[in-house]
Structure formats: structure tokens, C-alpha cells
A and B are shown apart, each in its own frame.
Chain A
Amino acid sequence: MKIAFSYPPIINSDGQKAMVSQNRNVQFFMKPTYLLPIIQGQAATWLRDMGYNVFWDDGNSQLKTFDCWYLDLIEASPDVIIFESTTPVMKFYWNIVNKIKSDLPHCTVIMTGYHSMRKPQETLRRSYADVVLRSNHIDFVLQKLIPYIDENSQWRENCPIEGLVIRIDENNFHDTGNFKQIETLDLSPDVDRDLVQWKNYAYENGNFLQTPGTYATSVVRDCMFGKCSFCRYNGPDLTFSMRSVQKSLDEYQKLIEDYGAREIFDDSGVWYRGAEAREFAQGIIDRGLNKKDCYFGFNTRFGYLEEDTIALLAKANFRFVLVGLEAADEETLNRLNKGYGPKDSEQNLKLYTKYGLFPHLTIMVGYFWQTREQLNTTIDTVKRFMFEGLARTLQVTICTPIDFTPYHQECIDQKMLLTNDYDDFDMSKLIVKTPIPHNDYYDAIRNIYGIAFHPKFIFKQIQFLFKFKKRDWQFLFTYGIRAIRRVRQHIFNLTKQQKNKVIK
């Protein structure tokens, strides 16, 4: 049985490519970051280990045009294709599934991703997809489903595996129930780096301070906190699960020693905290991996890491810490269920930078309740943090309700959504009613990105470089160029948006 894990290049009318993988909010960029989809990678590895003929078909990272990707796929003629999609590209996916089903009628198309997971029937009605997965545990479900399909001709009617909605015919679907099982993550294999052609993802990634970089097999599936209202990792059917520290350490060692990785980033919603974080950092030190010129990074939330843990992480060569600063006012933090207060962020950032970690802030604007005062609080706080050297880099996005998260549902219930067209959910514009004009939020984003070019900030960066253990000017230059390119791409999208298509 031949199985394709496919990511089609999705290119908009401005020639920008969509970044889809790794459960990210889709954004279109001229020079996108290629993110290695970890769970898909684990699923592919697992099925390959079970003897299936798996091929990794990421048209984006393989730099294919859409036509070239499509022709190659049809020529390969897989028995099963697995796609990952999310709200803003659902319509694209429904069309592509139908096209594939007409060219390869015997191919089974399996849809994964948080949008179809929340609305499986919709995808089965709007396209000829055969199966929709109702869980993010793609690896665990597929390693049961694929052999079942392989061995049972009546699989559509009889499949007992949970977490699926299966097409029986045009109008009838077999729902096998919610997938709620917490899996022992250690059972799922490490991503086979050769199978996914890891080097295709090793350079163009803003999260890498040095290259080649790679994403580790995530240590936490879903999120231990899992309560933030705008986030996909929030739902009654989701409970986090965690990998063992020693298994992850083994993978890091292999990535450094066998593959020459110089940066390893873990893209779990939130990485280990407390005892596990300390055990991991200590493990890196004990194995001497902190002396191999490789940096480590992860996502965290304010409130999870305290001083001793941060100090140990820094000693172990951790650098890049990506942390959400979704707002700086109490009301918004509470409404978003962030679980911390405005003061906590500053306190945490002071500790991160005290020990030489590089905090990267992910900021959002444009909540349907966000007043001018709240918006200004965010801008002022971010500026202060950047000028005081409490954070090194940042990214600002428009909060876009997607994938039926609680925030999305709240927008629907309170009639705040300005559009039902999924194409509009691509984060390029505000799609909710707001108390102040949309342009004010766009100006805020521009204003925040403008910090990168402010003399005070540039001075702080140079000052920091002299304190930085590794005085590698070339590194800062390359990283700086990449950061500036990212800023320009975001600003291009905003300008385009302000000129073209403001939704009223």
C-alpha cells in the first residue's frame, strides 16, 4: 500500500505561499517558513516501520510549483493520501480533494487538522474525502486505521477505531465516536529525519538562531495548560500527554551527533515545566550536549518557569524561548483565559534575559472587545520590553477566530463575525466587529514592528551582542536579515490589506 503525506503548495493571487503545517494559523508569505509537521512525520515513520510504502510529499518545502506537485502526485498514484488543513484553506482543500478523486478514483483521501476535526460532516459533504480524523493523534489513529483499511474490504461500514468519520456513500457517514484516549507518547516513534528530508526545513525558519536547525519530536501533545480561549489546544476532548525526558534526550543526542543539527526547537504548545524541565536541562548537560554548539528552544507560557529552572536551561544552552504576550491588560488576559496577570510577563522576562535566554514575543491585536486604551497598553508595554532589552524579537498578528476554538465560538454566538467565507480567515485582515476602526489595529501592528528600526532598540541589540557568550557577528547579521525580512512581509500584508479589502 502506497501512502502519501501531502502538503500542496497553496499560492494566492499575490504569489504568496500559505504556511499550513504544524497546526499553525495559516498565513500567506512570499518567503514562508517551512515548518516540519511533527505528528505527521511520526505517523509517516510509524507506517513506514510497519512496512507500508510511505512517501513524504511536502510540495512547499520541496519548492515545487502547484502544477509540478500535482503531476508528481498523480504519477505516484498513492492508495492513500493524508492532508492537513485549517479554516482559511478548507475551500482549497475541498477542491483539490475532488480533483484528486476524479483523477485517482480509487485513492482514499484522509483529512486531518483542527477545522475538519471539529466539523467532520462539513468536509464530507463539501468534498469527496473518504475519512476525517477527529483527533490530533494522527499517528496513533493512522497506525490502526491503515492496516484496517488494508485488511478489510468492508472497512467503511465496520471500522471500530475511534475518532473517525468515514464516508459510506454520498450521504451516509459512519461516526466512530470521539477520540479521547490519552496515549503513551513514547509509543510513537521519533520522526525519521531522512524520510521527511529534514534539510528542506532546516534553514528558512525564523525560530532558528543558527542553522541547520530542526524541530524535535514534540514532548507534549496538545497543551498541559490548554485553557486559552483562542487556542486550538482547548476543548473537552483534549487532554495533554507527555513524552519521557530520557526518550527526548536520546533524540536530541542523535540529531546533534548524527545529523549535525545546530539548533533544535520543540514546537509543543507548551514545553516541559518544573521537574521535567530541570531533568531535561540536566540531561543535556550530563550528556555534554550543551558543548556541541547547538542551541535549544521551545514555546512556553508566562507563569511556568521559575528562576532555578531558567538558570539551568541557560546553562544547558537553551536560547530561543517563544512566549505569548497576547495582551498587557488584565481584562483581555482574563477574557482569553491566559492564567496570568499583566505583571507576571515582566517578571518572567526579566528572569529569562537575566540568564541570557532570547525571549521572542508573540503578540496579538484585534479582539472584538479591544478598546483603544487596551490596544495602547499592549503597544506601550511591548515597546518598553523591547527598549529595556526584556525581549529580543517579536511577531504581531491579528487575532483571527479559527477552527471553532472557544474564541471562534464566542464570536459566532455574539454575532461578532463579519464574514463566513473561510478564505477570509487567513489572518490578513480583521474579520470581527471591533469598538475602534480596524485601521487602528493595523497601525498598531505597524507601530510595533517599527520598534525593530528604532535607534534605542538597535542600540540595545548591539549592547546585548557584547554580552552574548558567542560573539558571532555573522550569526547576528544573518538572523537580523531574516528578522527584518519577516517584518517586511508582515507589513506588506497589512498595506495590501489596507489598500484592498477592508471588510466593513
Chain B
Amino acid sequence: MLHKVLEIRNLTATAYVLRIERKKVSFKAGQCFNLGLKNSGVNREYSIYSGENDSCLEFLVKEIKEGIVSPSLRQVTLGEEINLHGPYGSFVIDPIKIKQVKFYFICTGTGIAPFHSFIRSHPNLDYQIINGIRSLNERYDYDEYHPLKITTCISREKWAGFHGRLTAYLPEIPIDTKSIFYICGNQKMIQEAYVILRKKKVSGNHIFTEAFF
């Protein structure tokens, strides 16, 4: 399906939010879509960034300089149409659990995208984000999260908060094993975070993962 690009909001030199028209697309927060340039025949998966009730669809994209789709989507002129397929996937929240448990959202880089969508869609969610990034400017749309509900681990820049990788922070904190854990980002981080959580006696049935690369 073709959707018009409404806005490209640059966040950093390599990250942007792509806003496109929604048309009649319905989705569950956390699902992903395939996006690509019109008539290019090439596409990639992107997790939804906007909420279930928002009027447009938004995606948080990291531009990979040597990549194909992520740089080309940034070059699209406003009003131009791009190809969208989806939604897909089961990286979603069970609505019954929302009132019952706390959610931990563990992510690196643009892996925060599906969690942004969760939070916009379910305002009463009891959540804690643990976000691993390299530098301060990668705190994408930071104001949209409750300041006490997001912990940032910055690995390549000294700052007032935790300096180091997310996987160095995670073992240090107390964790309620009844909570539900969603992990999103690169495979290596997911694998390490999974092992840490299992060591903390979190059941594998309480851990959900989505790997980007």
C-alpha cells in the first residue's frame, strides 16, 4: 500500500522519525511494518513508533550510512508516497496483563521504538525503560517518558547518570521476577540481557524479544 510521507523529523545526524499518513491501517502497539521506496522492490522491517490511537504512523529509524533502505527513506520529499506492508508480528502486550504487572522495557538505540508505541497506546502502563545508548544525543524524544520511568545507560560519554553498557547496569539492580520483560535491539545485547535476567531467576516465559539485527 502506498502512503504519503508527511514529515521527516531529524533527531540526530543518524536518526530520524518518519511520519506517514495512516489511512485505515490498524495495528497493535509493538508490531512492525515493511517500508520501502515506491517501485524500488526493496523493503525493510520497522517497528511502529506511534501509538494505536495516533492519527499518523511514525517510525524511528537509524540511518545506516552504508545501508540501502534507511538512507533512502530519509531522502524522500514530503508528499511523496512510500510502500508499506503490514502490520506483522507478535511483539505486543497482552492487555489483560496491563493492570496486573510491571513491565520492564530493555532496549538499545532505535530498539526503543516499540516501547514508545506501547507507552503512547497504554497510558496506564506501569513500566520502567532501561535504555542503552552511546551518547547523550541518542536520547530520542526523551521528554515523552516519565523521568523516573526511564534509566539511560550511556557507554561512550561521561555524564551524571550511569556510564557504561546496559548489560553492566542490569545485573546491579533489584528486579521483581513477577514483572514482564521486553527486550529489543541488537542480538548480542538481547542475548546478554536474557542471560542476566535468567540468572536473576526471571522465568523464560516472562521474557519477550525482538531482534533488529
Interface residues of A (CB under 8 A from B): 162-163, 177-184, 225, 227, 235-236, 239-242, 274-275, 302-306, 308-309, 334, 337-341, 343-344, 347-348, 351
Contact = CB atoms under 8 A, between A and B. Distances in A.
A411 B203 CA distance: 32
B45 to A, nearest CB: 7
Given A236-B90, A274-B68, A340-B34, A182 B41 contact: no
Contact of A184 (B88, B90, B188): B188
A337 B88 contact: yes
A338 B45 CA distance: 12
The number of chain B residues touching the other chain, given as a range, is 35 or more
B75 interface: no
A343 B41 contact: yes
A303 B187 contact: no
Contacts of A351: 41
A182 B188 CA distance: 8
28 contacts: A162-B198, A162-B204, A177-B203, A177-B204, A177-B205, A179-B204, A181-B194, A182-B187, A182-B194, A182-B211, A183-B191, A227-B89, A235-B90, A239-B190, A239-B209, A241-B187, A242-B187, A274-B44, A274-B67, A337-B86, A339-B34, A339-B43, A339-B88, A340-B41, A344-B41, A344-B43, A347-B41, A351-B41
Contacts of A182: 187, 190-191, 194, 209, 211
B42 interface: yes
Given A182-B209, A239-B211, A341-B83, 18 more contacts: A163-B204, A180-B209, A181-B195, A184-B191, A225-B45, A236-B90, A239-B190, A275-B66, A303-B43, A306-B40, A306-B68, A309-B68, A337-B88, A339-B34, A339-B43, A339-B45, A339-B86, A344-B41
A429 B107 CA distance: 46
A434 B90 CA distance: 28
Contact of B208 (A177, A236, A343): A236
A445 B77 CA distance: 45
A347 B191 CA distance: 37
Contact of A340 (B43, B191, B195): B43
Contacts of B190: 182, 239
B165 interface: no
A343 B195 CA distance: 43
A225 B213 CA distance: 11
Nearest to A163: B204
B36 interface: yes
Contacts of B89: 227
B85 interface: yes
Contacts of B41: 302-303, 306, 340, 343-344, 347-348, 351
Nearest to B190: A182
B78 interface: no
Interface in B1-56: 34, 36, 39-45
Given A180-B207, A182-B211, A241-B187, A303 B194 contact: no
Contacts of A162: 198, 204
A240 B32 CA distance: 15
A304 B42 contact: yes
Contacts of A339: 34, 43, 45, 85-86, 88
B210 interface: yes
Contacts of B203: 177
A162 to B, nearest CB: 5
Interface string B63-101: 010111000000000000001011011110000000000
A184 B194 CA distance: 12
Nearest to B85: A339
B34 A303 contact: yes
Contacts of A177: 203-205
Contact of A180 (B40, B88, B188, B204): B204
A21 to B, nearest CB: 26
Contacts of B83: 341
Contacts of A334: 85
Contacts of A183: 191
A234 to B, nearest CB: 9
Contacts of A180: 194, 204, 207-209
A344 B36 CA distance: 11
Contact of B39 (A227, A305, A309, A343): A343
Most buried by A among B40, B190, B208, B211: B211
Most buried by A among B41, B68, B90, B210: B41
B40 to A, nearest CB: 7
A340 B213 CA distance: 20
A144 B211 CA distance: 24
B191 A275 contact: no
B211 A227 contact: no
A479 to B, nearest CB: 28
Contacts of A163: 204
Contacts of B208: 180, 236
Contacts of B207: 180
A178 B208 CA distance: 11
A275 B36 CA distance: 17
Contacts of B191: 181-184, 241
A162 B198 CA distance: 10
A275 B68 CA distance: 9
A273 B208 CA distance: 24
A461 B209 CA distance: 46
Closest 9 CB pairs of A and B: A347-B41, A227-B88, A236-B90, A339-B34, A306-B42, A303-B43, A344-B41, A177-B204, A239-B209
B187 A340 contact: no
B180 to A, nearest CB: 12
A89 B207 CA distance: 32
A241 B209 contact: no
B204 to A, nearest CB: 5
B211 A240 contact: yes
Contacts of A275: 64, 66-67
